[in-house]
Structure formats: structure tokens, C-alpha cells
Structure 1
């Protein structure tokens, strides 16, 4: 029996859940935590049929309440049964979910909500308190739904919505066009201000097919996704979801013991996690000499995964397990991917010698090109200059999951998007890359974080791979002090523990020697010790180099 959804029955991505419910009604769709006693975590489960029926009930209730076709709806529920059911219910009702990572911070979150201007707000009690106290979407929000007690916050409860939806049992699946807006997903803001990416139903459908084919995901697998939005693909892929017990906004702080317990209990085969989570998990496994028996595939995205983290994770799995590190962005995902088995010693040597980070070959049917770096906007692909193999430039991509615009950000859209003669949209990734002669893409750093001395241009991720091998370093960051075109390259470092004056001088000397040993770093003659880099909350690895550059400039003037 075929158990992988396709779009023949309609492009609304919520149809995937109903499709699975008809074909495998009794199969478990989700295992979710529900308290526990004496240190034993209690999990409940929900079948595909039960989840589909619950989402139908919520969809009818939401429509009766006024949340229907085209209604932009901020969704702030904790991962669990209601998160899944309500998300699919919004699609079924034709509404447009607005997803914002709460890990970006209160101030950016307020700005995102003001920009999205949602008419409806569905969230836990805590989120509604924040909405009221901090004035989130005050001018636009009219329809409020609270998951939990209202405490005088107004609107309806999720229980009320469910009761409204139980008044009848008609099938509800709003008919959409593939080009209809499906959701607004905000970027993390790790490398700039968060922007709302407009997703259409065809983008979600394309992602489902590309993920399935790229990673050979099979129906019946059991998935533990530690990033909630990624979990929403599981029903379309025929997988059972296990909701982990953790704060998804702080993956580095996840309890590895609880994660492993869930993997063992439910025989998890697929794990999705950020590099920060894999770092925490793999360290624990290596220290405790644990091998996770059931896991056959690990997928990590969101930031570059250090080689040392990949190697530790490999030690934590059995030999036939594979680790994939796809490259992409909220605006276009996935773009390319590489597996750990492809990272042989020769390739690792290239990475550590400053060639960049290999992110694999483009995922079909994506088309990836490298264009000459420019801070100008291009309307048409022909206005950009394509770079030859082996030469660095900006990465641009076209493909079925490539989005066309940002919500209410015309200037940002103009800077990031181009079209070609066939009408295809090309997205400028904002990343510097190199395409090698074997069709593999190498990531070198962010375009906006390049260091331009007027004589040479340095790309941070290439340079930092050279210095990060030093045993006393936690990490390094190459930034430019001064104005672009006349910048002084500065190596900022974060060291392990407290160094003595003698060791400080030794590390300083070692790094300057390393810089002179490689052609791409020879202009670096300044090393600054930093107490702790400013990094993004979620990944704990995306360095805020713009802030470091300001700090370095002040340090040099002082």
C-alpha cells in the first residue's frame, strides 16, 4: 500500500494529514509528553485518524469564530498535540499561519508581529500575557484564542473552539490554488533583521518531495524533530513524530539523557537537530560511551556543523547510520546537502586549509550559480556576472522551493530576488560560495561580513577554519575594522578557560604564525582576545560579526 502523500488530490498541504488518515488510520502519528511522576516521563499517543479528526474539529471551530480563508494568524503554542492539530486546522480553514521563532528575543518578536499585522492570535496563556503587557500586534489583533486559562485576557479558549467545531462533523479542507499564500515564516534574524518569508502551498509541497527523495525517507519511520516547524513535514512523509522534552528555543541546553530515553523508548530512526543540539548530544554520548541503536539518519541544519561535532556524532551511532548536513535558508530550503560519509580526510584537509565548508551538491531540481559579489539589486539574472568554477562569488539558487518575496518588505525583496528568461525566481542567498569542478558547493561566509582591505577580500568562514584547529580556542572570528575598502582584518578569539600571561602570549604568537602560513590569512596581523562572542540564541554558533567588528574597532582605537 502506498503511504506517501502526493498533491494529485489538491495542493493544500493539510491534505497530507487527511490522506494518511484514510490510508493508515490506526498508525501512530504523534507521541507527545504529558507530565510524569517519580522521574518517569509520561507520553500519550495519537493516531493519524484521531489527529485528522481533531484538526477538522478545530478547523470548523476556527471558521465559526471568524478565522477563515486569508486570515493571518500568529501561532505561539508549545510543541505537542495541539500544536500539530491547530497548525493543520489553520491550513484546512484556509487561514495563513504566522510563525516567529520566540528565541529571537522580545524586541525583534514585537517588530515581526507589527510587520505581519495578524488579525488572529493563538497562543498559550504566557504568550497572551506578553502580548497584552508588551503590546504585541495591538492594532491588528481582533480574534484571540488561548490554549489554557484566559485569566481575563479576552477572546476564546482552545476548548471553546473545539466545542464550536463539534457542532457538526462536515469535512473541511479549503480548496486552494498552488500559488495561494500558505504561511508567513520569519527568518531567525541571526545575520540581520528578521524578515517574513511568504510561503505558497506549492513551496511546502515541493519541500516535502525534495526531502523525501534527498534523504530516502520511508513511510513508517519514527522521527524526533527538535525544531518544531520541521516536525510538520512528518505526516506528509508518513512518519511518526516523537515530541522531545526540551525548550526548542534553546537546543544547546537540551537534556541529552531525556533525548536518548525517548529515542530508545520509541525506536527513533530519524533525528533532526541544530548543530548546537548535536554538539550537546554527541558530547554526552561520547563521555558516557553510548551508542544510539535505532537511529539510522541524523539531519542537521540552521548553521554550519563543525567537523568535530560530526565526528563525535558518528561515534554515537552505528556504522550504517548516516549524518546529513543540508544547506539552505528559510527563503529556499533545501538547496544542497552532503553526508558525513562524503567528508573524507582529503576533503577535511581542504576545509581546514581554508577552502571553505563543503555543503555538497545541489539537490535536484535546484539550479545553483555563483555570481560576482555586488551590493546592488538585480532585476534580471542576465544583469549579474556568473563566476567560473573555483572562483568565489555570491550563491544564487532557483528551484521549486525558492520563495518569491518577503512580507511587506519591497526593498528587501528587490535586493534578494531576480528572474530569468523563463520567469523563474532566483534567490540571492547572501552567502559567498565556490563551485568546484565536481559540482560541489563550498560555503565561505556571509557577503555582508566579508573583509575588504582594498587589496584583498577575506571571507570569514574560510579563514576561521584555519585558526579553529588551535587547541586553546573555542572559536574565532575574522572581522574588518574600519570602512569597507580600507578595512584592517582582525582575528577575534574566544579561548578555553583562563590563560596565564605566558600562555596568552604563546597563543597570540601561534595564531600569527598560522596566519602567515596561509596565503588567504597573511594580511591578519592583529589578534584580540574576547571574553565571549555575541552569538544567536538558537544555534549558539552564528557569530554576530557586525557587533564584533564594532568592538574590535573600538579596541584598536583605544
Structure 2
């Protein structure tokens, strides 16, 4: 590929396989489908139409369209133009949404009627918007409609020849440990992500993807694979309708799928109960630690020879590390269950991983970092071709997260963990979630694993109450179902704690009705919210002490 513009990748896919299936959308078994030629022609018409409306290279475009043909074709159209695509999860809550929009300063808004109305109801964050295109009827609120703009436009368009360092998109983090931040994605980052996905996971032409996260539908088309957009709300993966998700997989013989563990938890239970084997040969689960129990369940619904991967990364660096489900079950899951952390695998080709002594403030240069030896828990940092360089308009956070090393940068993942003697990375929790006691730090993933073994515990969360350096560890559990005798449950949890040196200092246990989780994956636990809730419970009831 001579042009690193991801929009050019669609041209290459269409040239190689013009009549092959590229995209499928639909509900309740009623589908629409497009070939690569049709997808490219639609995207080119949209690029010409948007250009006619004044959208141009380098312009910041707030993009608010539901997963659909329009989502895929318009995103490729914006990349072809060289515009900067702004993508924000609408499920993050309107306060966060408005703050993020205001921070990114969009110059154009392309969105469905509801998005256009939203921008009129809350005009301040949209004050920089000069151009509007409504995807659907505008009712006089959204400027020109896409349909009107597309009249009499050509289906030919030459994508902008972009440089590796040219800004392509701003994609926001989930905000699982603080306000969501806009991550600057260059065309080079997208290009290198495509290469990693193609070469490491062996995905390409002839594959059929069903992405649980809409953006991954773009990667499929750019790799010459087809994308089947599932009938689901991508902002609520845990509420996926498994029958609908499975039906489209079977109807189109999907060969691989990327999604949150929350999706696969629901889908695997449905398939096992119904006796369904899916056609998927590769399943990628990411966004939160994946349990061996879930891996085992998903294996049961895949054909013989199918492979599960659990990539590790972040919005700022994805993917960085990976491991197969088979290796987890064979070698690492037994260690995870006794508190040694979650193994997330080895660095992907071109990626480097190091463990450094945790530091609260910025690290300006790599020479300022103290690298830790094998087996020592510290702060995880990564370097490589998919590591982003900056947060958008947020120099303070950029300084905190990036460490300069010559002409490149290490990204501080915000996680703690260690590297074993085989070069595998083990994740022990978020750095911000450590419980800082007088006896030293306690790590969430390691400690929680002990209590997740209890048959009545759905999941657990370790939080600290009090001042950092003298925090009291509190273990909060979410139960599979209500228990008749809470006192007995607390006694059993207390015994589990006493039997392991990692958790022996935990004396206080609380039951929470339902853990708050992140919007994007519905799997990352908002421990900050649980910590505040635990503070409110103080003084703790006698049964929980």
C-alpha cells in the first residue's frame, strides 16, 4: 500500500474483489448487502457530496451516526477527504458527551436527526460547528441532508495521499479511571493496526466479521473481509439479544468476531442452552480481564480447531499484547485463580513492553524511568507502531501518559503488572485502583480472584477507604442471586481472605446490588464509584466487619 490513508485501503479491496460481499446490515433475518464495488461507489459519492458541502482536508468532523451502511461508507468518505473524524460513545452520559464535544472543537457535524436536535438543545459545545449534514430528514435543524447533497455527484473519488503523522481521527477513551480523553489517531496508527490485525491474527479476504464494536467493521472492509453489522446497541453490549446476534452469525457463516467479554458471556450461555455451534473460527475478546471459565464456555460453542484470542491494549495503544485462550487454560488460569494476576500474553510483533517503578507525576525522558526485573509488579509501559502520541487538546494528560525515548514514545498504560520468565505480561489491575495500605499496595485483580472462587459470588471489587498510605481494604461482592444468610456468606469470605497471604488483611466485606461498569465494554468495573459507595457505608455493619 503506497498511501497510508485507510480510505485508500477500501479502493484496494474493491479493485481486488469488486463483486465480493463487503457489508451486511439487517434485523430479524431481513438483510441488505453490498459488494465492495457498491460500498466504494457509495463512499465516493459521499466524499464528493461532503466536499460540495465544504467539508475538506484537516477539518474536524463530529460524526454521530448509528452502525449501518451510512456509518461505514461515511467514515471511509471522511478518511478519503483527509478530514479528521471525531468519534465519541453516545452512552457515556450527556454531561461527559457535552464536555468532550466542547473540548474537541468540531467544525462540522454529520449526524442523524436526533444528533442534530441534540446540538440545537445544547448549542454551547457545538459553537465551533460551521457546516451540518443530516443523515436522514433534517426538519430544518440539520442543514443539508445527505440525500440532497448526493444528487448528481460522481461515484469516482481519489483519496487524499496522507502522511503517517497526519491526524485522521480523535477517538475517546471509556473514562473508566477519570473523565474520557480524546486520543489522536494518525493515518499511520490506523495503517499499522491494519497490518498487525492482518498478519498476526491472519484476517483477510474471504473472512466474514461480525464486530461487536462498530469501528472494527472498517478494519474488515479495509482488509478485504466482509462485515456483518449485528442487530444490537453497541453502547450496551451486556444487553445484547443473543438470539439475534447468533442468527446473523449462522445466516452469514461468520468466520471471526471481536467483542467485549460481556457479549460473549451472554452469547455463550445462549448457545450452550440451545445446543448451537457457531461457525466462527476466531473470537477476539478484549476490554476487561477474561476468565478461564468464559474461555472454556466459548470454546464449547466453536468448531474444532477454532481459536480464542484475548488482546490487551488501550484506546491509546491497540493491540499491544495477545495470548490464546488455549494457553490461558493450559498454563496461566490456575495461577490467576490463586492471585497471581491475569496473563495477557506476549508483545505483538514490533511492540515492546517494560515494567517500571510506579511514579505519580510525569516522566519526561525514558532515562528517568526505573525498570523493574522479571517478576516484580510495577507500572506497565508499551512502545511500538500502534502507540499514539498525544491526547487532543490536553497537554497535561499527554505529559502524564507519554515518555519520550529518542524519536519515539512509551505509553504509560495506567495499569500495573509484571513480566514472567517466559516474557509474558501479567495484568494485576489499574494503577489508580491500588489500595495503598500502611503495609504496602494491594492489587485489585490479584486479590479479587480469591473471592471470585466463592460459588455465590458473581464478581468482586477491592477498594480502599481512608487516606492513601493508610487505607483500609474493603472487599465488595456482587452476588449471582440473593443469599438467605448474609452472615454466613461473610464468614466464608473472611475465611477465604485468611487463607491467602495476599488477602489476610481484608476484614470488611460488603454486598452491592449491581456493580457500575463502563459503557463501551460493560465489563470494566468503576471501582472509584464503589469506593465512594463504601465510604458512605461507614461505620460498617457488624455483619460485614
**Unmatched tracts of structure 1, length 5 or more:** 1-6
| Residue aligning to 2:419 | 435
TM (norm. structure 1) is 0.95
For 2:268 and 2:124, locate their aligned partners in 1 and report how far apart those are by CA, in whole Å.
Answer: 38
Correspondent of 2:224 among 218, 238, 256: 238
Q: Distance in 1 between matches of 2:522 and 2:72?
A: 27
For residue 167 of structure 1, report the CA deviation from its aligned partner.
3.7
Query: Deviation digits for residues 308-352 of structure 1, max 9, x if unmatched?
Result: 211111111122111111000000000101111112354221000
The correspondence of residues 414-429 of structure 1 with structure 2, limited to 5 A, is 414-421=399-406, 423-429=407-413
Say whether 1:553 aligns with 2:539: no
Cα distance in structure 1, aligned partners of 2:76 and 2:82: 10
Give a deviation string over 1:174-227, Cα, whole Å, max 9, x none.
121111101111111122210000011100000001111221113211111111
1:20 aligns with 2:25: no
2:339 corresponds to which of 327, 344, 354: 354
Is it true that 1:388 corresponds to 2:373 in the alignment?
Answer: yes
SS in 1 for 2:32: strand
SS of the equivalent of 1:480 reads: strand
Tell me which of 21, 30, 42 is aligned to 1:54. 42
Per the alignment, in what secondary structure is the counterpart of residue 520 of structure 1?
A: coil
- The CA deviation at 1:96 is 0.5
Q: Which residue in the other structure is 2:492 paired with?
A: 510
Determine the C-alpha separation between the residues in 2 that align with 1:330 and 1:314: 27
Aligned 1:515-526 pairs, distance under 5 A: 515-526=497-508
Q: Is 1:489 matched up with 2:473?
A: yes
Match of 2:543 in 1: none
Whether the 8 Å CA contact 2:42–2:155 is kept in 1: the answer is no
Of 521, 527, 531, which residue of structure 2 is paired with 1:539? 521
**1:136-193: per-residue Cα shift (whole Å, max 9, x none)?**
6331111111111111204111102212xx3445533112111110111111112221
**Partner secondary structure for residue 153 of structure 1:** coil
- Shift, 1:49, TM fit: 1.0
Aligned counterparts of 2:329 and 2:313: Cα–Cα separation in 1: 22
SS at match of 1:374: coil
In the alignment, the residues of structure 2 paired with residue 170 and residue 271 of structure 1 have an alpha-carbon distance, to the nearest angstrom, of: 31
Cα distance between partner residues in 1 of 2:122 and 2:269? 39
Q: Name the stretch that deviates more: 390-399 or 212-221.
A: 212-221
The alignment status of 1:339 with 2:324, answered yes or no, reads: yes
2:29 maps to 1:44 = no
| Residues 363-512 of structure 1: pairs in structure 2 closer than 5 A | 363-421=348-406, 423-500=407-484, 503-512=485-494
Are residues 1:229 and 2:215 paired? yes
| In 2, Cα distance between equivalents of 1:72 and 1:181 | 10
Number of positions where the alignment pairs a residue of Structure 1 with one of Structure 2: 540
Q: Secondary structure at 2:164's aligned position in 1? A: coil
Deviating more after overlay: 482-491 vs 305-314: 305-314
**For 2:111 and 2:345, how far apart are their aligned partners in 1?**
39
The answer as to whether partners of 1:130 and 1:136 remain within 8 angstroms in 2 is no
Stretches of structure 2 that go unaligned for 5 or more consecutive residues are 541-545
The alpha-carbon deviation at position 90 of structure 1 amounts to: 0.4
Q: TM-score, normalized by length of structure 2? A: 0.97
SS at match of 1:557: coil
Asked if structure 2 preserves the Cα contact closer than 8 Å seen for 1:60 and 1:172, the reply is: no
Partner of 1:108: 96
Is the aligned partner of 1:173 residue 2:149? no
Counterpart of 1:278 in structure 2 is 264
Root-mean-square deviation over aligned CA pairs? 1.3
Q: Is the 8 A contact 1:434 1:443 kept in 2?
A: yes
Partner secondary structure for residue 160 of structure 1: helix
Question: Is the CA contact (8 Å cut-off) linking 1:113 and 1:136 kept in structure 2?
Answer: no
Q: Distance in 2 between matches of 1:538 and 1:57?
A: 31
Q: Does 1:252 align with 2:238?
A: yes
2-structure distance, mates of 1:154, 1:345: 55
Q: How far apart are the structure 2 equivalents of 1:60 and 1:497?
A: 56
Greater Cα offset, 398-407 or 339-348: 339-348
Cα-to-partner distance string for 1:444-491 (whole Å, 9 max, x where unaligned): 000011011121210101110111110111111101101110101111
Q: How many Å separate the matches in 1 of 2:156 and 2:282?
A: 39
Cα drift, residue 32 of structure 1: 1.4
Counterpart secondary structure, 1:232:
helix
CA displacement, residues 403-441 of structure 1 (integer Å, 9 cap, x when unaligned): 0000010000000001113x1111000000110000000
Q: Secondary structure at the match of 2:393?
A: coil
**1:3 corresponds to which residue?**
none
Q: Partners in 1 of 2:216 and 2:116 — Cα distance? A: 24
- Is 1:160 the counterpart of 2:123 in the alignment? no
CA offsets 1:41-60 (integer angstroms, 9 cap, x no match): 21111111111111111111
Output the CA distance in 2 between the equivalents of 1:357 and 1:511: 21
Specify the SS of the correspondent of 1:235. helix
Deviations 1:362-402 (A, max 9, x none): 10110100000110110111101001000000100000010
Partner of residue 131 from structure 1, selected from 119, 126, 132:
119
The structural deviation recorded for 1:497 is: 2.2
Task: Show the counterpart of 1:4.
Answer: none
Give 1:245 shift. 0.8
